[in-house]
Chains A and B, each alone.
Chain A
Amino acid sequence: AAGVIQSPRHLIKEKRETATLKCYPIPRHDTVYWYQQGPGQDPQFLISFYEKMQSDKGSIPDRFSAQQFSDYHSELNMSSLELGDSALYFCASSSQGDTEAFFGQGTRLTVV
């Protein structure tokens, strides 16, 4: 069965650079969530989209932005990267009206 696809799997950036993370949800899923997981931490909710509109916002820094496109894939744009942004970034998708969310394998971002 198709799963949530995230790219890239690994990314190394320098401080003050920008990064773009991509998420391709499970087919026919219309809701996408982004989570940030620091080393040894639980996943922290950043932002979610439903039908290409932002539906909820968590602890997402102003330096980050995200959007969902017409094909339901989503991109997380991160600017002015800081060392503290180093983390695993997970995307999850679900279908509105169905509560189960499925996670991708994550993108490991390392800021040096």
Chain B
Amino acid sequence: GENVEQHPSTLSVQEGDSAVIKCTYSDSASNYFPWYKQELGKGPQLIIDIRSNVGEKKDQRIAVTLNKTAKHFSLHITETQPEDSAVYFCAASKTSGTYKYIFGTGTRLKVLA
């Protein structure tokens, strides 16, 4: 069945360093890849997304890259800040029919001051 693998499960970085989270998807028909940030007790918040027709997208300190051939996509956070500490989920979806999201297992990012 469809699944999304996400690594690492936990990540600790020093403030100001970069953080990278990687995901691999199984369904080659997937063509939309959002990233969500979930803070304690809150719902997942969309922070960035990428579609399969581009290889990279950047929004200030956050960037996402996509390798369709390898079915990999990654989240890059530069100049990390303590408020970046949260659980990050990747997801994969297909833009046909309704957009059921298959989530990765999450990465708990801790930014150490």
Contacts and interface: CB of A to CB of B under 8 A. Distances in A.
Interface of A: 4, 31, 33, 35, 41-45, 48, 50, 55-56, 58, 90, 92, 94, 96, 99-106
Interface residues of B, number: 24
Nearest to A49: B98
Nearest to A54: B98
Interface string B35-60: 01000001111100101000000000
B99 A42 contact: no
A102 B99 CA distance: 12
A101 B35 CA distance: 11
A60 B104 CA distance: 18
Given A103-B45, A106-B43, 18 more contacts: A33-B101, A35-B103, A41-B105, A42-B105, A42-B106, A43-B44, A45-B100, A45-B101, A45-B102, A48-B98, A55-B97, A55-B98, A99-B93, A99-B95, A101-B34, A101-B46, A103-B46, A105-B43
Interface of B: 6, 32, 34, 36, 42-46, 49, 51, 89, 93, 95, 97-106
A5 to B, nearest CB: 11
A102 B102 contact: no
B46 A90 contact: no
Nearest to B89: A42
Contact of A102 (B46, B89, B100): B46
Contacts of B45: 103
A106 B98 contact: no
Contacts of B6: 42
23 contacts: A31-B99, A42-B6, A42-B89, A42-B105, A42-B106, A45-B101, A45-B103, A48-B98, A48-B100, A56-B98, A96-B98, A99-B34, A99-B49, A99-B51, A99-B99, A100-B34, A100-B46, A101-B46, A102-B46, A103-B44, A103-B45, A104-B43, A106-B43
